[in-house]
Amino acid sequence: MQQQPHACIRLAALRHNFARIQQWAPNSKVMAVIKSNAYGHGDVAVAKALPDCDAFAVATLAEAVRLRQAGIRQDIVLLEGVQSEAQYQQAVTLHLTPVIHEIRQLGWLETYQGTIPACWIMVETGMNRLGFPPKDIALIYHRIKKSHRVTGDIGLMSHFANADNPDDQRNQQQLERLSALTLFDTLPVSMANSAAIMQLPESQLQWVRPGLMLYGASPFLAKDAKQLGLQAVMTVKAQIIAIKVIQAGEEVGYGGDYTAATVKKIGIINMGYGDGLSRQLSNCGFVLWQQKRLAILGRISMDMTCIDLTASTAAIGDEVTIWGESMPIEATAMQAGTIPYELFCQLTRRIPRLYDGKS
């Protein structure tokens, strides 16, 4: 029976990784980053699997709305804040915690009649993406405090640009800019992402924001998840749907980018770039069959991919692993010239997520 490609999500592995985060940062609260549909893992399912998590972070209001509608009651932090007064009103209604990173957002907070449970002030320390310069933070804080619109904590947040390279001196420079603020010792502070949690413990502070490590992948080039004691949460599998033999000199796929040097047995699997299999793996990537790596031949198509079965006994109907258990996504990402984040996030809705074996 033909089975469509799918992603197996092991919630026990997710909880294992969450426990590892608590071990790495025992004195910090955890704000799990579940933006972009929990890096493709399913935000609602991930949130429900982590009832002890202190807060969740998303990028957009729509992501937060989906979590609230699903019954998630923990604090939900909007990392990009709100983008209009109407969005601010909705954040108030849903008891969301916005990040304030530009002056319009501060104005909406001051003028709208309603309260929010907490907020974070984004401090620009060196990434030059979002946030206020350090010299403005005290004024921003006092304006928020004076507004009486925040019933709980007002925190300080910043983001490392180079935490995946722990020896980069710019990490310390960013942390020093944040710690130099007069409010640093009096307010909750959040700086550490996955890489910083593991390699820059001085940045853990009151709150940590794990993302990639929660899903069992490593942010470092020199270390994979297994070396870090993390477990792969997602395993993506496809099925061999056809097998044929080609002769020396015959080409495979669009453009004939692969030419057989000898007689080859090739298999066709039912997954392509329309499912999220990176086209950059064409002619250079591998899949896994019974612990044996099989090369991808030719260009990856929208719905199918050709693989080399010459040295295997694989049969039609057999499953192959694209990434996950026994096939680290870090290695697949390196072959594609990208990062695990992108592979996770580009997995399309056509791929069903099976949680502990159930859809």
Confidence (pLDDT) at 166: 87
Q: Is the pLDDT of residue 359 over 70?
A: no
User: Does domain 234-355 sit in CATH 2.40.37.10?
Assistant: yes
The pLDDT of residue 222: 84
Please confirm, yes or no, whether 35 is among the known catalytic residues.
Answer: yes
Taking all residues of the chain, what is their mean pLDDT, rounded to a whole number?
Answer: 97
Query: Is the pLDDT confidence value at 1 over 60?
Result: no
Catalytically annotated residue among 145, 226, 244, 254: 254
Separation between Cα atoms, residue 47 and residue 51, nearest integer Å = 7
Distance CA 225, CA 222 (A): 10
Rg (CA), the chain: 23
Residues in a beta bridge with 292: 289
Q: What is the pLDDT of residue 273?
A: 98
pLDDT score at 292 = 97
pLDDT of 160 higher than 60: yes
Residues of the chain with CATH 3.20.20.10: 11-215
- The per-residue pLDDT for 2 is 61
Residue 223 binned pLDDT confidence (cut-offs 50, 70, 90)? confident
Collapsing DSSP to helix, strand or coil, 8 comes out as strand
Could you read off the pLDDT of 133-153 as tens digits, one per residue?
Answer: 999 999 999 999 999 999 999
CATH class of 11-215: alpha beta
pLDDT of residue 3: 86
* Whole-number Å distance between alpha carbons of 225 and 215: 10
DSSP helix/strand/coil, 72 = coil
pLDDT band at 348 (very low <50, low <70, confident <90, very high): very high
**What percentage of the chain's residues is helix, strand, coil (to nearest 5)?**
30, 25, 45
Whether residue 258 is predicted with pLDDT greater than 90 in this model: the reply is yes
- List, for residues 93-113, the tens digit of each pLDDT value: 999 999 999 999 999 999 998
Q: Report residue 357's pLDDT band, with 50, 70 and 90 as the boundaries.
A: confident
List phi, psi (to 5°) of 350: -70, -20
Quick: pLDDT tens for 265-304: 999 999 999 999 999 999 999 999 999 999 999 999 999 9
- Range(s) for CATH 2.40.37.10 in the chain? 234-355
Of residues 3 and 320, the one with the higher pLDDT is 320
| Tens-place pLDDT, residues 108-129 | 999 998 999 999 999 999 999 9
Among candidate residues 35, 258, 341, 355, the one labeled active-site is 35
| Phi, psi angles (nearest 5°) of residue 155 | -110, 170
